[in-house]
Chains A and B, each alone.
Chain A
Amino acid sequence: MSGLHSRGKTWFDALTSRAGGEQGGPVRAADAPLGGERARFIAVVPDPLNRFVRARDNVVGLEQGWHLARAVREALEADRDATHKRPLIAIVDVKSQAYGRREELLGIHLACAGAVDAYASARLAGHPVIALIVGPAMSGAYLAHGYQANRIIALDAPGTTVHAMGKEAAARVTRRSVEGLEALGDTVLPMSYKMSAYAKLGLLHELIDGVDADAPAAADIERVRASLIAAVADARSGPRDLSNRLASADAKRTRAASIEARRRLAEQWDQDPDQDRDAT
């Protein structure tokens, strides 16, 4: 990806009214009005001058992970004694984690964990954390930036997708064609690359269609802003953990096994050990 055009930057600028005003680096963070309060918006953008050659696109690499953590923790620290915690809006447009030998040697897994830690800690401290998926939300990059949110909103648009592995790589690993892989996703829901299928897993708070993800009009931006405001309010009304992800009608249908496993584990947690009569 050349230059600095990216959906992450487009939506960051639009929602913070930053249009052109410049920060540098792969992580953009700014406080801006959202509804009647100030929220911190955070995005990962391409960084063509990044010290790490393998981390110059919209990916989460070593620096991205720790800078995400820093952006979140600054807000966490600033609001530490405040009763009202500012919302954190993760604008998600990340095609993958960075793939490179330096990344592995230097602990990219920890850098990403740093971001996970920060977002989770902020959520536990009472900050409403909202993920806004405007492009790819892939794999470890999404774990680091977005997946610890209280509520997840996504644009239903070409190029917006959630998955654990890119199509070409996944097709290779499963020994299918890309078309075959896409067809598989129509029968095996968690394998699908479509946002409509992801929505059926019960993880999304809202799927917004009819918005131009690459060049949003003013009405598009206002629509998304209204959704963010509603998601913030909804997050504040519920618990600080991720239990809401199993609460929807969709989740009860497609994640029945998750719900059943949790129920039965809780049942057996305190079971009298004398009841154990197995040979295992």
Chain B
Amino acid sequence: MSAHDVFIARHSFIELTARERARALLDPGTFRELLGPFDRLESPWLAMQNVVCQSDDGVVIARGALGGEPAVIAAIEPAFQGGSIGEVSGTKIAAALELAAREFDAGRTIRPVILFETGGVRLQEANLGLAVIAEIHAAIVALRRHVPVVGVIGGMVGCFGGMSLAAALCTELVMTRQARLGMNGPEVIEEEAGIGELDSGDRRLIWSMIGGEERVAVGLADTLVEDDTGEVRDAVLAAFGRGVPASHRSEQVERQLERLARVNPDAIDPESLRALWQGDAR
């Protein structure tokens, strides 16, 4: 195929809404949304701050099948409040993961997937956003004993804030090149530490540090994909195929401390980090 043919054949994952992404990843015809727009579970906190609610509060929960196996997908909608997590949207994710864990208690199986597209806590709901993110963390740790919890970071918002910790707790992470994964957004770093610390306008630098290609290269994410729904789906299925590992990245304390010890903070950059960290067996 020519480059043109390849380009035309691609189905962009990033351009889809959260609902469309969930539908595209599930086996055709199996998508069933829970707590959808007509359930009208909205934020109780936005109207009093003159912010218009979205009827699903920015998160889509869908059950269906993935590779013929039961699955549940939690997809965050980036267009609504930057995908930020509020009381209801975060609770939907935590509760879906908790119910997934109960499937295993009942002797059944389910494949959980989280589509991260979020700046973290929704500031208008501050302490409740933070609290429900802690509940999401708890649910991931409990669930991934039974089955891989697979995270996908697709698009232009990326995954930041307290939800970057959730991503790091996942069994495996699939990232596109366009995606970024970091704890504090570049603007926040610049604001807190000054432009000398980080120029948030330097897009090339930002992506070289925390973009999908670098994260996979240094072992902070697992699979790099092009912006194509087929590739994302294949990567997610492959992650489930590998099963629950002996230990998760976030459990490997001594290994991570050893990797950090190799770094000279005064002389480290994205390229030299690849030399230090690339090729570590998991």
Contacts and interface: CB of A to CB of B under 8 A. Distances in A.
| Same complex origin of A and B | yes
Interface of A: 51-54, 62-63, 66-67, 69-70, 73, 97, 99-114, 116-118, 120-121, 123-124, 139-140, 142-144, 147-148, 162-165, 169-170, 172-174, 184, 187-192, 198, 201, 203, 241-242, 245, 255-258, 260-262, 264-266, 268-269, 271, 273, 276, 278, 280
Contacts of B188: 99, 169
B250 A117 contact: yes
Given A114-B250, A280-B36, A169 B91 contact: no
Contacts of B26: none
B189 A101 contact: yes
A24 B188 CA distance: 30
B123 A173 contact: yes
A23 B218 CA distance: 32
Interface stretch (B1-9, B222-230, B233-241, B263-271): B263-271
Most buried by B among A54, A110, A273: A110
A116 B192 contact: no
Nearest to A265: B95
Interface residues of B, number: 82
B99 A269 contact: yes
B35 A148 contact: no
Given A109-B167, A148-B138, A264-B39, A140 B161 contact: yes
B232 interface: no
B169 interface: yes
B141 to A, nearest CB: 4
B39 A69 contact: no
A164 B184 contact: no
A258 B91 contact: yes
Contact of A191 (B35, B126, B169): B126
A144 B32 contact: no
Contacts of B260: 62-63, 66, 106
B181 A109 contact: yes
A257 B91 contact: yes
Contacts of B161: 139-140
Given A109-B165, A120-B141, A266-B99, 6 more contacts: A99-B184, A140-B184, A169-B192, A190-B87, A271-B34, A280-B33
Contact of A113 (B91, B124, B165, B184): B165
A113 B168 contact: yes
A262 B91 contact: yes
B268 A201 contact: no
Nearest to A262: B95
Contact of A99 (B48, B181, B192): B192
Contact of B182 (A109, A120, A170, A276): A109
28 contacts: A66-B260, A99-B193, A105-B209, A111-B256, A112-B165, A112-B183, A113-B169, A114-B251, A116-B165, A116-B250, A117-B250, A118-B251, A120-B138, A140-B161, A140-B162, A144-B165, A164-B120, A164-B121, A169-B192, A174-B123, A190-B125, A192-B127, A198-B127, A261-B41, A265-B61, A268-B34, A278-B33, A280-B19
A105 B273 contact: yes
B92 interface: yes
A130 B126 CA distance: 22
Nearest to B263: A106
Contact of A139 (B88, B162, B210): B162
B129 interface: yes
Contacts of B124: 174, 188, 191
B130 A164 contact: yes
